[in-house]
Amino acid sequence: MANYNRVIMMGNLTRDPVLRYLPSQMAVVDFGLAVNHRFRTKTGEDREEVCFIDCSAFGKQAEVINQYCQKGRPLLVEGRLKYDTWEDKQGGGKRSKHVIVVDNFQLLGGRDSGGGGGGQGSSDEYAQDESRPQRPQGRPGGGRPPQQQPQNPQSQNPQPPFPDEQQFQEDDIPF
Instruction: Give the model confidence (pLDDT) of 90-116 as tens digits.
Output: 877 888 899 999 999 999 886 665 544
pLDDT exceeds cutoff 70 at 3:
yes
Confidence bin at 132 (pLDDT 50/70/90): very low
Number of domains the chain is built from: 1
**C-alpha to C-alpha distance for 69 and 111, rounded to whole angstroms:** 10
User: Domain range holding 72?
Assistant: 1-119
CATH assignment at residue 40: 2.40.50.140
Residue at 100 is within a domain = yes
The percent of residues in the chain predicted with pLDDT above 70, rounded, is 62
Residue at 146 is within a domain = no
